[in-house]
Structure 1
Amino acid sequence: MKVAPLPTVLLLSVALVIPWTSVQAQKRDEITGKVLYRYTDEKGIQVLDDQVPPRFVAKGYEILSLSGQVLKVVPPPPTGEELAEQRRRAAQREQDHRLLKRFNSVADIESARARKLATVEQDMAIMRSNISSLGRQIEQEESVAARTQRAGREVAPELLQRIADLREEVAVLNERLGRREAEAVAINEEYDRAAARYAEIAGK
């Protein structure tokens, strides 16, 4: 006895009902909160259970519906080194974003370097000029003091104080000059890094 084939429309209806039923089951599992957990035990065997023992949580696990659909994958928590690497990459992305927002090209970076250095170098030139001028004043005052001593007279306290004050001014200026020189070096290093990083990003 031959069985008549099912009509095409009926076959399509059956095919549609099966996945629809699966979706409905999954939604029902999610709504009712009934789920299963799949994790790997100490022997490397995958286990399906209604909970994950605390000692296996750090290895990561999967949350499945009762119908076997993977609802969520919970990866292992990152290690200290991985966290540090994530923070480093996030900081680098932020720096790159600011760099691209601030400059349009390597030439733009070099122009900014030149402008910033020009201000610092102008300050250093003024300080060097002042140091030189104060040095000449000190020589003059010390020459007067030396002539006074050679004449057998006592050098006036006011003259000695002026010499001490001038030397103090020179010391202060030299300290400021040193800081400015260090600043110029830091500016060059900063813009060297910026130019190199910009070229690296633009080349990707």
Structure 2
Amino acid sequence: MEASDLGRLIRERRKASKLTLSQLAERAGVSTSYVSQVERGIANPTLSSLKTLALALDFNIGSLLEQSQPEFPTADGDVAVLRAGRRRRVVYPGSEIANELLSPNLRKRMEIIWVEAPRGQGSGGHPHQHEGEECGVVLQGAMRFWVGDQEWVLDPRDSIYFPSNLPHRWESVGTDDLIAVWIITPPTF
């Protein structure tokens, strides 16, 4: 998703919510000029800023994955095959982090995400918390992961499982780009 497409989506959500630029900025704790620049595709929000704007507009970042491509066909309504290279993919503006939705949509009981991130990229400096549980496995590279006051470095084939209501964040720290698979239930992305 290009910065201009993201900006258009945020502007559409803001207008549908009947909010002014300054009202959205106040809700998100950012400047009015910053929101204006994001909406015009001039500023690329960090993942953290994007989550803050999305929360202020009452939507989640996962809806970007939902809107990025049409619904995938299923064999009988219960089975979905998502081919590599044709999955819903979001590259976050201001970063090189890419997420692909491995589950057919975010209306199921779990979401499964393919995560790609170069060294030094991550979820942002502040921890995230939400309802549910998470499990992730590193396929390539290494991931420094914090849950509460604890910290681990996960190498290929290492996994982590935790309640999502605990503060958590991550960073790619390996010499190779990070590739991981993440499962979250219920879908909250």
TM-score, normalising length: structure 2: 0.18
* Higher relative contact order (Cα pairs below 8 Å, separated by 6+ residues): 2
Q: Which has the higher helix share?
A: 1
**What's the TM-score, normalizing by structure 1?**
0.17
Higher Rg of the two aligned structures = 1
Higher strand share: 2
